C-alpha cells in the first residue's frame, strides 16, 4: 500500500523505504536511462537519486510531492551529468530495444530514428521529451519540474517532434 509505505519510510523504517523504491524505480531509471543512454550510468544515477531521497525523506510531504521530487532530481542530475561529459551522448548502444520499449508491433526503424533523435537533443530538450512521453506531463508541469519557462518547453517539443517527423518521412520516401 503506497500510503503505508510512504508513512513508514518517513518514519525511518527500511521496509517502508524499500517499498517506495520498488514503486518508483522504473520512473527514475527510465528517465536516467534515456537521458544518459548507458545502463551502468543510469543505474548509478538512479541509486544516487534514491540515496538522496533517503536523506531527505522527511521533507517530502505527499505522494504527489514525491513523484514531482523524483522527476525533478533525476532530470536535473542527468542534465548536469550530460553537460559535464558530452561524450556520454555519443555512445551508441548495440541493442536499444531496452531503451525504447519493444512491443509486438515494434518498428525497429522507428526505434533507430528515435535513438538518433534523442542523441541529437541537447540535455534540456531531451528531458522535456522524456517528461512529456514517459511521464505524460503537460508543458506546465514540465516547466515546473525543470524550472524553465513554459514557452521554452513548448519550443523544445515542437522542434523535437518536427525533427522526428522529418526523419520518419524521409524513411517513408525511401521505402517506396
Partner 1 sequence: MSEDLDNTLRKALRRVDPGEDFTARVLARVAAEARSESSGDMRSANRSVSRLVWLPVALAASLVLAVVVTYEWQARRERAGLEARDQVIEALRVTSEKLDLAYQIVNSPPPSRTPDDAGA
Partner 2 sequence: MKIATKCFAVPFLWAVLSLPALAAPLPGRLLLPDFSALGPKATESVSITLDAPLLATAARFLDGGDPDQRAVKDMIGGLRGIYVKSYTFEKAFAYATADIDAVRKQLATPGWQQIVQVRSGKPQTAVDIFVFQVQGESGGLAIIATEPREFTIVNIVGAIDLDKLHKLEGRFGIPKLPSTAGAGVQNPAK
What residues line the site for partner 2 (CB under 8 A)?
83, 86-87, 120-122, 125, 149, 151-152, 154-155, 158-160, 163
- Residue among 3 and 136 whose Cβ is closer to partner 1: 136
- Residue among 32 and 118 whose Cβ is closer to partner 2: 118
Residues 106-165 contacting partner 1, CB under 8 A: 107, 110-111, 114, 122-124, 129-130, 133-134, 136, 159, 161, 164-165
- Residue among 90 and 175 whose Cβ is closer to partner 2: 90
Q: Name the binder of 151 from partner 2, partner 1, none, CB < 5-8 A by kind.
A: partner 2
Q: Are 31 and 130 contacting, i.e. CB atoms less than 8 angstroms apart? A: yes
| The one among 50, 73, 77, 81 contacting partner 1 by CB under 8 A | 50
Distance of closest approach, residue 57 Cβ to partner 1, in angstroms = 11
Q: How many CA atoms lie within 13 A of 19 on its CB side?
A: 15
Residues 20-49 contacting partner 1, CB under 8 A: 21-22, 25-27, 29-30, 33-34, 42-43, 46-47
| The one among 101, 138, 151, 170 contacting partner 1 by CB under 8 A | 101
- Residue among 58 and 158 whose Cβ is closer to partner 2: 158
Q: What is the 3-state secondary structure (H, E, C) of the chain?
A: CHHHHHHHHHCCCHHHHHHHHHHHHHHHHHHHHHHHCCHHHHHHHHHHHHHHHHHHHHHCCCHHHHHHHHHHHHHHHHHHHHHHCHHHHHCCCCCCCCCCCCCCCCCHHHHHHHHHHHHHCCHHHHHHHHHHHCCCCCHHHHHHHHCCCHHHHHHHHHHHHHHHHHHHHHHHHHHC
Q: Name the binder of 29 from partner 1, partner 2, none, CB < 5-8 A by kind.
A: partner 1
* Separation CA 61–CA 10 (nearest Å): 9
Amino acid at each position: 500500500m503506497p500510503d503505508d509505505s510512504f508513512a513508514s519510510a518517513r518514519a525511518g523504517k527500511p521496509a517502508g523505504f524499500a517499498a517506495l523504491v520498488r514503486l518508483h524505480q522504473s520512473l527514475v531509471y527510465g528517465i536516467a536511462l534515456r537521458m544518459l543512454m548507458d545502463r551502468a550510468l543510469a543505474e548509478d544515477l538512479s541509486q544516487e537519486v534514491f540515496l538522496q531521497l533517503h536523506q531527505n525523506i522527511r521533507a517530502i510531504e505527499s505522494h504527489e510531492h514525491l513523484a514531482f521530487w523524483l522527476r525533478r532530481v533525476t532530470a536535473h542530475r542527468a542534465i548536469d551529468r550530460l553537460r559535464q561529459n558530452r561524450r556520454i551522448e555519443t555512445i551508441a548502444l548495440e541493442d536499444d530495444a531496452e531503451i525504447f520499449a519493444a512491443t509486438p508491433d515494434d518498428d525497429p526503424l522507428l526505434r533507430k530514428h528515435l535513438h538518433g533523435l534523442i542523441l541529437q537533443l541537447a540535455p534540456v530538450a531531451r528531458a522535456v521529451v522524456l517528461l512529456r512521453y514517459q511521464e505524460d506531463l503537460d508543458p506546465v508541469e514540465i516547466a515546473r519540474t525543470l524550472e524553465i519557462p513554459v514557452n521554452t518547453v513548448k519550443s523544445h517539443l515542437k522542434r523535437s517532434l518536427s525533427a522526428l517527423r522529418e526523419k520518419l518521412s524521409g524513411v517513408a520516401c525511401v521505402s517506396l
